[in-house]
């Protein structure tokens, strides 16, 4: 059988009933006729409307559930919801791991994305954003000898910056890489003595630069901060060209708390 025969015709696909159920509901949502927060009917109701069996309806609902388009209130009513970034980013991160991307790819993408973020953040950050960053910084300074907590705070720091950029496209674009990238600072803080101090110092400069609306200073320190990660990573004895799978075991543990 030819897997990808370059022929005249596209491969024909017959959608099954449960897929059509899911697609029908999805269309309603995407077209705005079902809005986030609206209830979708009970299963019995959907059975009546679609004229298929409940099992079929349920399989369709599972697709939407995994897509993050619908949610159940504690085993109860089914209603439409906005797919949450975190869940989507999670999936993306997993895909990156499965595709065996290297830390080098992660690093180079982080340089680009975080520089973009900081630039927007300098323009757009509000007082609330700065307050949140300061709170994060205070906690980090109090946790200099706790690599696990520090890595979590580092991840959060950059997520807060992304939020401060007021650009949700950028925020979403950076998140999958960030979920794999920043948690590795745990490793660095653990293995490189001055790692934690350098990290917190860089964060301090970044907050100050954002507060002062100084774009050049912000770019400078963000670049230093990310490049510092690379040096720390190598000094911790890791090869930047290795795939990220190894880190993932711990991440999956972390993720369980988050979900």
Partner DNA sequence: ATGCCAACCTTTGTCGGACAAAGGGACGAA
Partner DNA sequence: TTCGTCCCTTTGTCCGACAAAGGTTGGCAT
Half-sphere exposure (CA, 13 Å, Cβ side) for 128?
Answer: 4
- 96 interacts with, out of DNA, its own copies, none, CB within 5 to 8 A per kind: its own copies
Per-residue contact string for residues 204-223; x = within reach of DNA by CB under 7 A: --------------------
Query: Does position 146 bind its own copies by CB under 8 A?
Result: no
Number of residues that bind DNA (CB under 7 A): 21
Find the angle CA(183)-CA(137)-CA(182) to the nearest 5 degrees. 15
Using the rule CB under 7 A, is 42 a contact of DNA? Answer: yes
Decide if residue 54 touches DNA (CB under 7 A): yes
Q: Residue 254 binds what, of its own copies, DNA, none (CB under 5 to 8 Å, by partner type)? A: none
Question: 248: which residues sit within 8 A by CB, 6+ positions away?
Answer: 97, 180
Which of DNA, its own copies, none lies near 67, with the C-beta cut-off 5 to 8 A by kind? its own copies
Angle at 75 between CA 74 and CA 79, to 5 degrees: 80
Binding status of residue 58 toward its own copies by CB under 8 A: yes
Distance CA 210, CA 217 (A): 9
Per CB under 8 A, the segment of 64-72, 153-161, 202-210, 233-241 that binds its own copies is: 64-72
Q: Is 78 in the site for DNA (CB under 7 A)?
A: yes
Give the whole-angstrom CA distance, residue 179 versus residue 173: 11
CB of 138 to DNA, least distance (A): 38
CB of 102 to its own copies, least distance (A): 9
Q: Indicate whether 118 belongs to the interface with its own copies (CB under 8 A).
A: no
* Residues near 31 by beta carbon (within 8 Å), at least 6 away in sequence: none
3-state secondary structure of 38: coil
CB atoms under 10 Å from CB of 257, counted, come to 7
The CA–CA distances, whole Å, from 198 to 167, 201, 211, 223, 230 equal: 28, 5, 20, 13, 13
- DSSP 8-class letter at 148: H
Rule CB under 8 A: choose which of 44, 48, 77, 82 binds its own copies: 82
Give the Cα separation of 206 and 56 in Å (integer). 53
Q: What residue has token string 């705070």?
A: 153
The entry of its own copies, DNA, none that residue 77 binds, CB within 5 to 8 Å by partner kind: DNA
Nearer to its own copies, 72 or 213 (CB): 72
Least distance in Å: CB of 77 to its own copies?
A: 13
Q: Which residues bind to its own copies, rule: CB under 8 A?
A: 10, 14, 16, 18, 27, 29-32, 36, 55, 58-59, 62-63, 65-68, 75, 82-83, 85, 88, 91-92, 94-99, 101, 105-106, 108-109, 112-113, 115-116, 119-120, 167-170, 172-174, 176-177, 245, 248-249, 252, 257
């Amino acid at each position: 059988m030819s897997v990808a025969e370059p022929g005249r015709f596209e491969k024909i696909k017959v959608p099954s009933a449960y897929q059509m159920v899911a697609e029908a509901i999805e269309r309603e949502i995407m077209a705005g006729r079902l809005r986030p927060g609206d209830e979708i009917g009970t299963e019995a109701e959907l059975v009546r409307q679609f004229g298929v069996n409940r099992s079929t309806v349920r399989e369709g609902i599972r697709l939407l559930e995994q897509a993050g388009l619908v949610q159940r209130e504690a085993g109860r009513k089914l209603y439409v919801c906005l797919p949450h970034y975190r869940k989507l980013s999670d999936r993306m991160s997993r895909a990156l791991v499965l595709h065996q991307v290297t830390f080098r790819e992660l690093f180079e993408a982080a340089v680009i994305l975080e520089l973009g973020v900081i630039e927007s953040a300098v323009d757009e950050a509000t007082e609330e954003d700065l307050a949140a960053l300061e709170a994060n910084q205070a906690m980090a300074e109090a946790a200099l000898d706790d690599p696990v907590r520090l890595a979590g705070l580092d991840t959060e720091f950059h997520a807060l910056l992304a939020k401060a950029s007021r650009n949700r496209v950028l925020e979403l674009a950076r998140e999958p890489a960030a979920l794999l990238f920043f948690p590795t600072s745990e490793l660095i803080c653990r293995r490189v003595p001055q790692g934690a101090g350098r990290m917190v110092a860089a964060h301090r400069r970044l907050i100050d630069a954002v507060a002062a609306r100084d774009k050049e200073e912000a770019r400078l320190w963000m670049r230093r901060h990310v490049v510092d990660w690379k040096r720390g990573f190598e000094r911790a004895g890791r090869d930047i060209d290795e795939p990220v799978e190894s880190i993932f075991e711990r991440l999956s543990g972390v993720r369980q708390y988050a979900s």
